[in-house]
Amino acid sequence: MTHKAVEQLVRAAGSGAAELDAVTAAMRPEQVASILIDEVLFRAGIPDNDWPVVIEVRIMTKGLTIPYFIRAAKGVPVDLIPQPSPDKRVAMRIDYDVAELARELFGSRDNLESAARATTPLPRATKAGPGSSTSPEQLAYLGAAAQAVHAVLEGCTSKAPDLAKLAVRHRSAKNGLVHRFGPRYERHLRPLRRESLRVLEIGFGGYDSAFDGGSLRMWKHYFPRSWIFGLDISDQSHLDEQRITTLRADQSDTDALVRIAGQYGPFDVVIDDGSHINEHVRSSFAALLPYVRTGGYYVIEDLWTSYRPSYGGSEDPADCGGTSLGLLKTLTDGLHHEELPVAGIGGYAAANVTGLHVYHNIAFIEKGRNTEGGVPRCPTV
């Protein structure tokens, strides 16, 4: 799967019908269908049906019908299987026109409901069934099919999911155990959700396997039209997948950050959830802020390390010259650089940060031109 093909399809799905038709016509039908089904499997809910069933998703394109068979069993992510044998019939069939499914997955409108979708319950093979459509076994089977189809249809949409739930589902440290960052992110990032963004997260591997890449998958799910880049000190390239690219670098190496940002940026959102060493937080911010787009955010997590000497912090809040909270305090002065008596104070950040939102352990820094013009000085003010 080439990134270019995915990018073309996502962009076209957010444009008019003619653009989408032109892009799908130029690609092989199997390639388009495979990009779409990959996304459906990724976004699908975790099934709740006790009785495992197979759901068929058929994607109709250019006179072709491309079938996919999805196994849904309680508590396990859905997955593709080969076409089942006739004695293991599919329980339900979902039909989609290729353009409708592309628009539902990658379109720029919220709450798009497709008229093209058809769901068909298929009778269970009499050989394996109890022989009566009203037997308890048959009813249980139909109930399982309904639950499974619900899980698959959850994957056929880009409706706004709850970020805190996504953090738990994809196993990110952002919400659940220690942190409650979900609502903070929702507040600032939800308005950007339908845009085609480039999101960079520093630190995504987790120090143990419990959080491996979870935050990258969470962002991929939350931003249905975006590209997610993860930078980590350790090689995690096995986590690369459609719309997720991992990059290896030590965030204290600012030359590497600038090189990577030049190649993959500019970014709409940068999240620093890496080493949390105060010096690294400060130097990464200085290196990457120029590569954040106007209107974008630079987010710093785990501000508590400002107070930990083991991370280069200080237990004395006044001794903040080298800490991440000290950086935020300087940025607050920088916001008012036009009123500061000494010209040039604050440098690039002062002229390019328009807002700061500091919460318990997390800060959102808004990028933009901060040159409104200062309050004029006069002898009495």
Ligand X SMILES: C[S@@+](CC[C@H](N)C(=O)[O-])C[C@H]1O[C@@H](n2cnc3c(N)ncnc32)[C@H](O)[C@@H]1O
Residues forming the site for ligand X (CB under 6 A): 172-174, 201-207, 211, 214-215, 232-234, 250-252, 273-275, 280
The Cα diameter of the chain in Å comes to 96
Q: Helix H segments across the chain?
A: 3-13, 17-26, 29-43, 98-106, 136-154, 163-170, 182-189, 214-222, 254-264, 278-288, 324-335, 347-352
Distance CA 274, CA 232 (A): 7
174: its two tokens: 């952002």
Which of residues 152 and 199 has its CB atom nearest to ligand X in the complex?
Answer: 199
Q: In whole angstroms, how close is the CB of 87 to ligand X at the nearest point? A: 44
Strand partners, 244: 228, 241
Which of residues 207 and 378 has its CB atom nearest to ligand X in the complex?
Answer: 207
62-66 long-range contacts (CB < 8 A, ≥24 apart) are 62/25, 62/29, 64/29, 66/29, 66/30, 66/33
Q: In whole angstroms, how close is the CB of 169 to ligand X at the nearest point? A: 12
Which of residues 305 and 370 has its CB atom nearest to ligand X in the complex?
Answer: 305
| Residue number closest to ligand X, CB atom | 203
Is 276 in the active site?
yes
Please pick, among 276, 280, 337, 357, the residue that the annotation labels catalytic.
276
Which of residues 153 and 247 has its CB atom nearest to ligand X in the complex?
Answer: 247
3-state helix, strand, coil in the chain (%, to 5): 40, 20, 40
Q: In whole angstroms, how close is the CB of 204 to ligand X at the nearest point? A: 5
- Side chain identity, residue 203: G
Residue 114 burial (CB count, 10 A): 16
Which of residues 207 and 376 has its CB atom nearest to ligand X in the complex?
Answer: 207
Q: In whole angstroms, how close is the CB of 311 to ligand X at the nearest point? A: 11
Q: In whole angstroms, how close is the CB of 23 to ligand X at the nearest point? A: 33
Distance CA 128, CA 26 (A): 44
Catalytic residues: 276
